[in-house]
Each structure stands twice: as C-alpha cells, then as structure tokens.
Amino acid sequence: MTRADYFAILFAVLLLPYLYATQWTGDKAGTTASIMNGDETTHASLTENRTLQINGVVGTSTLKIEDGKIRFTASPCLGKQCIHSGWLAHAGEFAACLPNRISVAVLGEEPRFDSINF
C-alpha cells in the first residue's frame, strides 16, 4: 500500500458518513408516494388502497397501493427489477423501471404542499 492508497481509503471513509448524514432519511413510515413518469411527477396517498396504471415509454406499468405500502406489480420491461424491489413503505425507499422511465419514491414527513389556498 502506498501513501496515496491510505489517502484514498481515508477519502472513502470520510465520504460515506457525509452521504448518510445528508441523504439518508431513516426508516420513518411513509405517507405519500411520489411517482415520476418521464418528467412528470404525481403524488398518491398511501392510505388509500388502489391500483394505478401508468403508461410509460414502452408500455403500461401497474402499481399497487395497499395498507400504507406501494409496489410495482406489473411492468412491460424485460428484467422486472422494479417488481423485484418489492413493497416500499418507508420514507426514502425507491423503486424504478428504467426502460419505462417510471420511478416511485416514498415520501415521509415533508408535506406535499408548502401552503394551502382556500
């Protein structure tokens, strides 16, 4: 190991806690799912059980919301990795179907709106 190797390891060791501190949101139960289709984001409450059909680039992806959780149940992609991601229930959890350009993130504490007009 050279001196530069030690520096590289030190860099990695410093970077990881920094990333966790700034990007990690813990496992608070989520309240809303933010669903992104292409460039368009929509939101769905996780309290309402239902099935969503979303038309993406290559076909229709199906998302299921059940008892505060959300998951991909059908997808036109080849790898089906989005379905293998399973249920998402905690804030920060994320699943995506890359070929269909559809992604789902569970949002926690942060309310959907900064202010309500009525």
Partner 1 sequence: MNNNPDGTADTKTGITITTTPEDHLIAWLAALAIAIHIIESVLPSPLPGVKPGLSNVITIVVFVLYGWRTAVWVSMLRVLVGSILIGTFLSPTFMLSFSGAVASLIVLWLASRLPGDGLGPIGLCLLAAMAHMFGQFYIAYLLFIPHEGLFKLLPLLMTAAVVFGIISGIIVRSMLRHLEKDANDITAPNRNEQE
Partner 2 sequence: MKCRWLSLLLFATLGLTACSESSPPVHKAKLFTLGTLVDVSVLHEDEATAQRAIDIVEAELAVINTQWHAWRDSPLTSINQQLTKGETITIDATTHAFMQQAQQLATDSQQLFNPAIGSLVALWGFHNDDRPEDAPPTTDKIDALLKQAPSMGDITLTATTLSSSNPAVQLDFGAFAKGYAIDQAIARLKQSGIEHAIVNAGGDLRAIGSKGKRPWRIGIRHPSASGVIASVETHGDESVFTSGNYERFFDFDGRRYHHIIDPRSGHPASGTVSVTVIHRNAATADAAATALFIAGAKQWPQIAQQMGIDEVMLIDDNLTIYMTAEMAKRIHLEISDAEVKIIGDNA
Determine phi and psi for 63, rounding to 5 degrees.
Answer: -120, 140
* Interface residues toward partner 2, by CB under 8 A: 3-4, 7-8, 11, 14-15, 18-19, 22-23, 112-118
CB of 4 to partner 2, least distance (A): 5
Let me know: does 97 contact 61? Beta carbons within 8 Å: yes
Q: Which does 29 bind (CB under 5 to 8 A by kind): partner 1, partner 2, none?
A: none
Q: According to CB under 8 A, which residues from 83 to 112 bind partner 1?
A: 84-85, 92-94, 96-99, 101, 103-107
Which burial class, exposed, middle or buried, applies to 56 when counting CB atoms under 10 A from its CB (0-12, 13-18, 19+)? middle
